[in-house]
A = this chain, B = another copy of it.
C-alpha cells in the first residue's frame, strides 16, 4: 500500500461492472473512464478480464485496455484471468498483476470456469510456475479471490472450514495474496469478521482483501466488520455496477463512492477525491447511455461541513 493511504480501494467497475452488462462500452471510453478513476486518486483498478471473447464480448478489448492503463503513472493495473490461457494473454499484454477467481462452491466453480475447486487450486501452481519462468522484473503478482466464500445461490451455505483450507492450499501453491469474495451477497458482519480473522491467523500477510456485493444492502455493514478483522483492501465498483452472470440474483458490487465516503468519514485515508470520483460517473453515462447506476452519496451529496483527507480540505 502506498504512503498516506490507510485503506486501498480497488476499483473493479471496468471488469466486474462491465462484464455484467450486455452492452459493450467502447474501448476509447474505457480508456478515459479508467484515466478519470485514476485521476480521482484510485490506486488500483481491475481493468478487464482475459476470458474468451465468445463468452464475454464486453471484455474482448482486454489487451488494448491493459496496454493503455499501464501507461498511467502510479496506477496498479489488475487483470482477471480465468485460466492459464487467459494468463498468457494478460502477461503478453503487460499486466503487472493477475487475479484468478477460485470458487468455494463446486457448482459455481463448474458453471463459472468449468473446473472443480481442486482443479482451480492446482492451476494456481501452474500459474506460479508460468510466472516464475519469466525474467525477473516481468513476473506479475498473483492474487486469488475465493468466490462464493460466504454462500452460494446454487449450493446455499458454504463450509467455513473448507474456505480456510482452500486459502492455505492456495498460499502453498504460490498465490501472493488470497482474498474472500461475497459473490452472491450472502455475507453478514459476524461471518465476515470470523472468516477474515481466521484467514489472517492461517496465512498471515498473504491474507488479501474483501470483495463484497450489496445484493441485500449489507455491503457496507460487512466492510465495518472486515475493517475490525484487519482488512485493508476493498474491491468496489463505481456506480455499483457489477454482479456475476453465473450467479443468478447476485447483483452489484458495493458502490465505490459510498465506500470511500464511509472510510473517509471514519478518518481512514483512501487518497480519493470524492468530487472527482463522482464526476467520473459521467463516463459511464457516455459509454453506456441510459445504464442505471447507483450510489447514495452521489444522490445526497456530501454533508454540510464535511472535511476529509482525500479531497476538498485537509483534516
A residues sitting closer than 8 Å to B (CB atoms) are 151-157, 184-186, 188-191, 214-218, 220-221, 223-225, 249, 251, 255, 258, 261-262, 265-267, 295-297, 300-301, 303-305
List of B residues within 8 angstroms of A303 by Cβ: 151, 153, 156, 184-186, 216
Question: Shortest CB–CB separation between residue A314 and chain B, in angstroms?
Answer: 16
Q: How far is the CA of A265 from the CA of B225 in the complex (A)?
A: 14
Cross-chain contact of A295 among B217, B261, B297, B304 (Cβ < 8 A):
B217
List of B residues within 8 angstroms of A184 by Cβ: 303
Cross-chain contact of A217 among B154, B216, B251, B255 (Cβ < 8 A):
B255
Question: Shortest CB–CB separation between residue A294 and chain B, in angstroms?
Answer: 9
Q: From known contacts A221-B223, A224-B189, A301-B249, infer whether A296 and B216 are also in contact, taking CB-CB under 8 Å.
A: yes
Question: Shortest CB–CB separation between residue A281 and chain B, in angstroms?
Answer: 15
Q: How far is the CA of A258 from the CA of B219 in the complex (A)?
A: 11
Q: From known contacts A154-B304, A304-B151, A304-B153, infer whether A189 and B262 are also in contact, taking CB-CB under 8 Å.
A: yes
CB-CB nearest 9 A-B residue pairs: A156-B305, A217-B296, A188-B265, A220-B221, A190-B266, A217-B258, A224-B224, A156-B304, A186-B303
Determine the residue in chain B with the shortest Cβ distance to A264. B188
Cross-chain contact of A304 among B152, B297, B301 (Cβ < 8 A):
B152
